[in-house]
Amino acid sequence: MNTVLYYYTGTGNSLWSARLFAKELQTGEPVSLARDPEASRARSVEAVGLIFPVHMWGVPGVVLNFIAHLPADKYYFAVAVNAGQVSATLLQLRKVMAQRGLNLSLGVSLRMPSNYIPWGGPGSSEEIDRRFRQSREKIRQTAPAVRSRQTHPMEKGPWWQRVLFTGIYKMSFPYIAKMDKDFWVDTACNGCALCVKICPVRNIRLQNQKPVWGHGCEQCLACIQWCPQQSIQFGKKTPGITRYHQPEVKAADMLAGAPRK
Ligand SMILES: Cc1cc2nc3c(=O)[nH]c(=O)nc-3n(C[C@H](O)[C@H](O)[C@H](O)COP(=O)(O)O)c2cc1C
Ligand code: SF4
Ligand code: SF4
C-alpha cells in the first residue's frame, strides 16, 4: 500500500468521502486520525491524504495538532469537506503545513450536507442527494490527479469569504473548547453512554447517568447528532430539528474510529 488516507469526522461526511477516495485510489481502509494520533501509518507510505470537515471557515484544531506528527518527503493532498463555504481553509492548511516543512500539493473542496445544527437541518432530501451525487463525481474526477501525484492550486472560496470569515475563524478559535457550555440534555436521555464513546476527543463523561462536558470540545457535533434519543440540545434552537449523519455511515463505524482510550 503506497497511500494512507487519514480522516476526521463528526457526522460521517468525511469518512464517506474518504471511503470513496480509498476505492478510487485502491488503497486500504481510511484511518481515523483519532486512532493514530502519532501518524505512525504515514511513515511507511509514499502519499498521504487528509480528509476533514471545515469548521468555522478554517481547519479544525484536531487536524492542526495532527499535522505536527506528519513526516516530510511525502506527497500530500487534502479534502476539505464543507457545506458550501470552504473559504480559505485549504490555503490555511497549506501554509501551516509549509511552516512544518510539508508540501501540500493538491487541495479540493467537497460540498456536502450541513451538520451545523445550531443553524438548522441539512436541507431537503433532494438537496442532500444532489450533494452526495456531485461529491461522488468530483472524487472520481480528482482521483487520477492524486494517483499521478499532480500539483494544483488549492480550491478556495470568494475573496470576501476569505477576508471576512478568516477573521471570524481567528477570533473564535480560542473559544471553541468552551462552546460545550451550551450543550444540555432533556429528559429522554437514558444514560446509554454513546455520546461518551463517540466523542473524538473524549470530552464527555457520565455523572449520575447523564453526560457532562469537560470544556475541551472541538465542536464536531458528533454527540448531539448521534444521540439515539435525540436528547442532547445546544442552546434553544435545536429541539425539534432533525438530526443528521451520513446515511451510509453507522454509529459502529464512528466508534471504530474513536480514540483508543
Ligand atoms: C462547528 C462547525 C462549523 C462549521 N463551519 C463550516 C464552515 O465554515 N463552512 C462550511 O461550509 N461548513 C461548515 N460546517 C459544516 C461542515 O463542514 C459540513 O457539514 C461537513 O460536511 C461535516 O463533515 P463531517 O460529517 O465529516 O463532520 C461546520 C460544521 C460545524 C460542526
Ligand atoms: S447518547 Fe444520548 S441518551 Fe445516551 S447517554 Fe448520551 S445523551 Fe444520554
Ligand atoms: S463534546 Fe460533542 S461536539 Fe465536542 S468534541 Fe465531543 S462529540 Fe464533538
The string of pLDDT tens digits covering residues 10-21 is 999 999 999 999
pLDDT at position 1 over 70: no
| 205 and 130 in a common domain | no
From CA 237, how far away is CA 115, in angstroms rounded? 14
Domain boundary among 163, 184, 205: 163
Residue pointed to by grid coordinates 477570533: 171
User: What is the total count of domains within the chain?
Assistant: 2
Q: What is the mean pLDDT of residues 95-122?
A: 97
| 181 and 156 in a common domain | no
Ligand 2 within 6 A of CB of 191? yes
pLDDT value for 261: 73
Considering the domain boundaries, does residue 168 fall inside one?
no
From CA 38, how far away is CA 236, in angstroms rounded? 38
Ligand 1 within 6 A of CB of 84? yes
Considering the domain boundaries, does residue 77 fall inside one?
yes
Q: Of 50, 109, 114, which is best to mutate to test ligand 1, by the most ligand atoms within 8 angstroms of its C-beta?
A: 114
The pLDDT tens digits for 24-62 are: 999 999 999 999 999 999 999 999 999 999 999 999 999
| 114 and 89 in a common domain | yes
pLDDT value for 162: 95
> Which ligand is closest in space to the CA of residue 224?
3
| 233 and 187 in a common domain | yes
Considering the domain boundaries, does residue 249 fall inside one?
yes
Residue bearing the CA closest to ligand 2, atom 2? 227
Kindly state the percentage of the chain with pLDDT values over 70. Answer: 100
Ligand 2 within 6 A of CB of 204? no
Ligand 1 within 6 A of CB of 33? no
Give the domain range for residue 228.
174-256
CA 4 to ligand 3 centroid distance, Å: 25
Residue pointed to by grid coordinates 471545515: 54
> Which ligand is closest in space to the CA of residue 89?
1
| 157 and 35 in a common domain | yes
Ligand 2 within 6 A of CB of 194? yes
> Which ligand is closest in space to the CA of residue 62?
3
| 215 and 136 in a common domain | no
Ligand 3 within 6 A of CB of 70? no
| 140 and 54 in a common domain | yes
Q: 94 pLDDT band (50/70/90 cuts)?
A: very high
Q: What is the mean pLDDT of residues 158-184?
A: 95
| 35 and 138 in a common domain | yes
From CA 42, how far away is CA 45, in angstroms rounded? 6
Q: pTM above the 0.95 mark?
A: yes
CATH number at residue 42: 3.40.50.360
DSSP 62-118: HHHHHHTT--SSSEEEEEEEESS--TTHHHHHHHHHHHTT--EEEEEEEE-----GG
| 67 and 104 in a common domain | yes
Considering the domain boundaries, does residue 169 fall inside one?
no
From CA 4, how far away is CA 27, in angstroms rounded? 7
Average pLDDT for the chain: 96
Instruction: Give the Cα-Cα-Cα angle 170, 87, 91 (nearest 5 degrees).
Output: 80
pLDDT at position 194 over 90: yes
Cα 256 to its chain centre, rounded Å, is 15
Considering the domain boundaries, does residue 261 fall inside one?
no
pLDDT value for 260: 87
pLDDT value for 85: 97
